[in-house]
Amino acid sequence: MAQVLRAAVAAACAGGLLSRLQAPVPAVRASSASQASRGVAGAVWALGRLNHVAIAVPDLEKARAFYRDVLGAQVSEVSPLPEHGVSVVFVDLGNTKMELLHPLGSDSPIAGFLQKNKAGGMHHVCIEVDDINAAVTDLKEKKIRSLSDEAKIGAHGKPVIFLHPKDCGGVLVELEQA
Ligand SMILES: C[C@@H](C(=O)O)C(=O)SCCNC(=O)CCNC(=O)[C@H](O)C(C)(C)COP(=O)(O)OP(=O)(O)OC[C@H]1O[C@@H](n2cnc3c(N)ncnc32)[C@H](O)[C@@H]1OP(=O)(O)O
């Protein structure tokens, strides 16, 4: 896919088509895919789709009711995930999801965030990757800190790992095995 995009962009650039059409989206996509595929030796991986955007909320039932009753979205039941220290509700948006997060237990990783942001707010983005182990190995080499030694099973039953927000432009990034 990345090769096809790169070839299309190269052909368009050669003919001056890209600048005439002012179509930056394919160029950006090709650039991020090719960056990922240039990982260290043995660590070839690529980003996939946006899986979800997570919002930390002080009142999970109230937030769930807002998305369901006011915005008319399809929402899941509340799922407690004790191994992650959160309860979650997924809001289905068709092309992606929102994940409403509320602390669970006395040692929740989102407790500090909600103390600082009492009304709640955007907590992390989750992007799929085609090979999470290759991604983790490659990112370690690039000095991007992971927040656990290895991937854990996330809300969708697939391996996930979080990257430190200070190494990702101030955004907490979750990678999920596609
Ligand atoms: C179920 C699963 C799934 O979807 O599959 C989930 O969602 S689990 C979702 C919950 N699990 C996780 O979030 C796991 C990964 N998260 C963590 O390990 C933690 O939340 C940290 C990201 C390390 C933050 O922990 P904590 O707030 O206790 O530490 P801290 O106050 O020292 O924060 C260190 C610095 O990072 C900033 N910081 C903290 N949380 C942030 C966030 N969500 N986005 C951007 N920056 C953030 C703080 O403001 C602070 O910056 P300053 O130093 O400038 O003030």
Q: Is residue 96 within 8 Å of residue 49, measured between CB atoms?
A: yes
Q: What is the mean pLDDT of residues 79-96?
A: 97
pLDDT range class, residue 4, cuts 50, 70, 90: very low
Residue nearest to ligand 1 atom 47, measured at CA: 165
Q: What is the mean pLDDT of residues 44-70?
A: 97
pLDDT of residue 9: 34
Q: What are phi and psi of 37, to 5 degrees?
A: -75, -10
Q: What are phi and psi of 13, to 5 degrees?
A: -65, -45
ipTM score above 0.95: yes
Ligand 1, pocket residues at CB < 6 Å: 54, 81, 84, 86, 88, 99, 101, 109-110, 112-113, 123-124, 126, 147, 154-155, 160, 162, 165, 170-172, 174
Q: What is the mean pLDDT of residues 56-80?
A: 98
Distance from the CA of 174 to the center of ligand 1, in angstroms? 11
Q: What is the mean pLDDT of residues 54-63?
A: 98
Residue nearest to ligand 1 atom 11, measured at CA: 109
pLDDT of residue 37: 47
Three-state SS at 23: coil
Give pLDDT tens digits for 101-127.
999 999 999 999 999 999 999 999 999
Q: Please give the single-letter amino acid code of residue 65.
A: A
Calculate the average pLDDT of the chain: 84
pLDDT of residue 40: 52
> Hey, which of 172, 175, 177 would you mutate to test ligand 1's pocket, going by the most ligand atoms within 8 Å of its Cβ?
172
User: Could you give the CA distance from residue 52 to residue 88 in angstroms, rounded to a whole number?
Assistant: 12
The residues near 34 (Cβ < 8 Å, ≥ 6 apart) are 2, 6
Total-model pTM: 0.83
Residue nearest to ligand 1 atom 4, measured at CA: 155
User: Could you give the CA distance from residue 170 to residue 137 in angstroms, rounded to a whole number?
Assistant: 21
Q: Is residue 146 within 8 Å of residue 162, measured between CB atoms?
A: yes
Cα distances (Å, whole numbers) of residue 61 to 32, 64, 75, 78, 152: 37, 5, 11, 8, 26
Distance from the CA of 111 to the center of ligand 1, in angstroms? 9
Distance from the CA of 133 to the center of ligand 1, in angstroms? 22
